[in-house]
Structure 1
Amino acid sequence: MNIATDRHTGRQAYARHPLQRAQRIFAMRDAVLGAWEQRVRASVRGADQLLTPILINTLPAFFDNLAEALTPGHPRENAASNSNVPAVHGNERARMTNYGPEQVIQEYQIFRDCFAAVAHEAGITLRSKDWQVINESIDSGIRESIREFTSMHEGFRRSIAAGLSHDMRNPLAVISTSAQLLLRPAEPERVAALAHKITEHSKRLDGMIEELLDSLSYHQGQRLPLALSRFDVLPLVQAVAGQVNLQRPGKCHVQGQSVTGWWCENSLRRALENLLGNALKYGDDGPIGVRVEATHERLFITVHNGGHAIAPEQAERIFDYLRRENDSPAPGWGIGLPFVQNVAESHGGSIAVDSAPETGTSFIFDVPVDCRPFVQPPGAPNSDS
């Protein structure tokens, strides 16, 4: 793996010719995660009952952050700096497991042991300054994970109805514009095309209203109702990016691999529209990079822009419903990112943000490749067709 081209598309390269030692640390990821999973299943109460995508959680991102922090010249101080990945880990542990705080802490301790053991087996000597970074990463990770873990147990703060209402503006705008154009003299072919647009987006709006009614009647009111199907997510990402490029040619660049899994296509499309719309608003007119990849049965979609970094005090509140900073120049209702978070969490996953002046801002959408075990109620049929 070339450190100069890391997992965040578009991020500035800090080492044109990375040291061999740093490359070897990045190459340890699969071995560390494999050893970690084996030890956690054997020693952490309740871990043996978790499927791999839920158990692995955000650990790949945490490992990459740590490897960056151990890379000479990289601006990341430790695995938790400029990133809410540990907080997302605690969030998902609260939602998806029967863990208590003790199990969350134990997982981080095991991660440190596995990282050291794999490094030793690979012949990589961890120096005193390396251990300082590792220990700071683990300590910060524990603090942030436990803080979010306990916060999640105090209650969820989502509003499904408001999120859906926010997204209804898109098809309504298309319907309104098409209807206005129909009032002008036009060729029959153009009339037919506009009528087709109105019909298509009316159906989409009707589906959103149905989701809204389902959400209002949902017993807990915390998760979106999802219609799961099996599809390749890469064409969906490319299609949403293509919509951006129709308005702003060459603005959005997609990289990555085809990943076929079970998700709600409509919800993922709307989440991607929100993430790319957010990147357009706050990207300082720079390019937008999107990367699609899968590892350890988890799908990662990273949306990166090079705009001004999110201030640390704002990053903690960025997913709060209707939260907007008073000095923000971009219009909006403060609903899009909470909706994206709800989509991720409803699929059994999470959304993380990584932002710093040197690297720009990346939103990491992270869900299981097969979401069926984490979405369908117990006893529901699980068809492979």
Structure 2
Amino acid sequence: MSEFVSHLKRRPGTAVSLAIPLAIFTLLRLVPALDIHAWSLSWYTRLIQYYFGAFASFIALIAALFANSALGEKTTVRSIFLTIGFIALSVLFLFSSLTTPNILIQGASNPAFIWSIRLSLPISGLFFAASAMDWSESTEAFIVKYRRLFWLGGLLLLVAFGILAFVYPEILNTWLQLDPILPNVLGIVSIFLLIWTAWRARILNWYGNRMINARLAVVFLLLAEAQLTLVLGVAGQLSWLMYHPLVIAALIVALSAILNSFQTSRDVQLSRYFFALGSILIAGLSLASVEIGFRWLSTGSGVNRTSLIPLSIAQGTLSFIVLYVVVFYLNQLINERNDALRREQHLRSELTQLIVHDLKSPLTVILSGMNLLGKENLGTLTETQKRLLVNLEKSGEEILHMISDLLDVERLEAGALALQKSITNTASLLQAQIDESKILASTNKQKLKFSYEPNLPQVRVDKGLISRVFANLLSNALKFTPEGGRVKVNITRQENLLFITVADSGPGVPLHERERIFEKFAQVEGGERRGAGLGLTFCKMVAEAHSGNLTVSESDMGGALFCLTLPFTEEEASLSAEVSLPSATYGGDWALDTPHHTPTPN
């Protein structure tokens, strides 16, 4: 839980958005004069409850329909229970809206209205918590196999509650005898379940996508705050009615996470994106049209909101059909363009592989021949010839590395490069690359420092690719660091992320070039940091393939600071004690590593 609190401290925007409702609620409870009884003060308070409930119900339904797509096409226990949780929230808020006193049903109070609100968050919170639990493989397989039975059971329970609400409301009156013990117990349990689910979602990365994890954590915390207002607030007063905006805010954040997942998907799902977004707008317009129609026709006899509901449903249905036809047509056009782009990319990839193969084969022969000459197997060489041969071999190796980077970038773009992941100690892997870079650093009289935290976790990565990323970043730093300059390498851990930074005292990267520098064949203006334009592209794509990231900023030495982030799971973190190395600084503080000095870790 301490890691979760530290996460909020590092993201003040999220912390403020969660703290403001709590501050307002506390103020209302501490100053009774401000906590007015809005329910009895104006009939419009009930009207607002009616429309808030209906709108919240519809947003929750949209979130339920698209939750599985946002988490991935494969059905899992997490997606099943998350979807059921949103559906339960949707149905119970719909019941609370329809049974709002003196709107559609006349009467000062209605037990169905009260219990719909009281049960909405505890029941949905129970399913949300189930989605965050660590299920065994056999249990998960059983739930996925018989998921239709879970759906049927949940549906029957909601139907049974609906029958009680609209046919036998007197039965729900008997539940009021359990006040206030049962509602408070349910509310407190719900608060703890939602907070626990938020912690699991954010810290343990249970939902797979880091962006969705972060936003769902906010969703669950907002719902926990909404439940807190129902438990500690006084029914009908402003402190109690705060659950309206909190629930709406939570559902909007959930929907934004779903829509964002559609935007960032490799195959952009335009129809789902616009259908979800358009559905919300249509729902809002339909609800508004009912109220406008009621206001306009209320002067006549026999007109009430109930009689206008069929008109609203008809209008909404027609709007959905029009929206679907338009989006379906646009989606077809986009898919045709995407197919054409994929064909073009495939042809370009084949051409690149053909060129790479045609270049790599003769280059390998050339390097082999130079290797034979360097060993003097074909005759003695003069010193001038040896120096020339060394330069030729170095240039040939650079071309070979560029060809390999080009081929791997094309494979990564096409998704054809399969990652061979294994548990890896990044400190040892990076240490090996630094050892290989010592000769180059000593030649240029550059000072190299390497440090890392103790007890670093292992991560599951493709060791070969990550090793090449380390080599590229180190080579890049040493290449652009002037003679006598400094390069600093560091590994730290924050929450479930590993941060590997490589900083240099070179010319740095201008602010306006820091995004473009990762593009293929991009060159920094001015020529201070020029290269083939493929190494950083390769590093960035490898990082993203591992669900990480690579960024560049200014180092404290005035040069560039490249930061590679790699995520790890709780299981990988638990292995840290067995493989951790002591914090090491090679050759002392900014001391030079030379081939004649073997540094000893401090």
Q: TM-score, structure 1 length as denominator?
A: 0.47
Higher relative contact order (CA 8 A, sep 6+): 1
Of Structure 1 and Structure 2, the greater helix share is in 2
Q: TM-score, structure 2 length as denominator?
A: 0.32
